Amino acid sequence: MNTFNLNFEGKRVLVTGSTMGIGHAIAGAFHGAGAHVAINGRTRKSVANAIDALGGGDRLFAASGDFSQNVERTAAISSVLAAFGGLDILVVNAGRGDEVTIDAMTLADWDAMIGLNIKAAFFASQACVPALRQSRGCIVHVASVLSLIATAPNSILYCISKSAMVQMTRSMAVELAPYGVRVNAIAPGFMDTPMIAHDNEQADNQLYDYINYTVPLGRIGQPDECAGAVLYLAAPFAGFTTGSVLVVDGGIMAGRRI
């Protein structure tokens, strides 16, 4: 039997924060590979629009809810598990990347970033673990290259939260390994997402030029390239990979162009 394929037919997948950007690309890739995919976003309208963009159909499930809010997160996950009758793959993508300096940081800034990037990520994973134990499934966390290096200005809080996500990934991988549940992460670099587009506007349209100059491959990454990394980690042929961080950064970790 050839297991070297990306056929996810019949697999049940939840991708948090999947109405745009990297999350939407990941959801689309799983759907295109035959999976049943739960689309998550903060509002019903954003989720409905994302499902329409993927072509609709009975393999797409709406799971709206703000994952930074305990009640909404619990309700969304419960609705997915009930609709799917279990879960095979959880992709934790929902997050935020607000810029804040050390001097200006407030407790509210800390609570907002840590609350979504770490607290919500952990408890979303925790809530899905019983179902993933039954299916011997897997979790993929979407971290950041800034979990491994701190090169972006005013990003200390984001770096802290994504670094914690990497350690969470490794710790979960060890604890869940006896149950056959694999836990990995990807660490994207600069990706062509609405968040980067907004940052580019704030930087007088010079951010893209900076990215193209400093990234060794000479360009910004595409969300589909992150999706490919996630599908690899979730595929059966990656069955001996757990506790790993797959860097998708165009070569930044290898050495920035100067």
pLDDT digits (tens, 9 = 90+) for 96-143: 888 888 999 999 999 999 999 999 999 999 999 999 999 999 999 999
208 is catalytic: no
pLDDT for res 205: 77
215 lies in some domain: no
Percentage with pLDDT > 90 across the chain: 78
Whole-model pTM: value is: 0.93
Question: Are 84 and 36 within 8 A, CB to CB?
Answer: yes
- Measured N-to-C along each axis, helices 156-176 and 121-135 cross at an angle, to the nearest 10 degrees, of 20
* CA-only gyration radius of the chain, Å: 18
22 lies in some domain: yes
165 lies in some domain: yes
| Residue 88 confidence (pLDDT) above 50 | yes
Q: What CATH number is attached to the domain comprising 99?
A: 3.40.50.720
| Residue 3 confidence (pLDDT) above 70 | no
Please give the single-letter amino acid code of residue 210.
Answer: Y
Domain span at residue 87 reads: 12-191+223-246
Q: Give the chain's domain count.
A: 1
Question: Are 61 and 31 within 8 A, CB to CB?
Answer: no
256 lies in some domain: no
pLDDT for res 161: 94
Which residue(s) pair with 168 in the sheet?
none
Closest CA to 43 of 25, 13, 19, 23: 19
pLDDT tier, 1 (very low <50, low <70, confident <90, very high otherwise) = very low
60 lies in some domain: yes
144 lies in some domain: yes
217 lies in some domain: no
Q: Catalytic: which of 158, 179, 208, 210? A: 158
* The pair of three-digit structure tokens given for residue 250, joined into one six-digit string: 């165009």
In whole angstroms, give the CA distance from residue 230 to residue 218. 23
170 lies in some domain: yes
pLDDT tier, 169 (very low <50, low <70, confident <90, very high otherwise) = very high
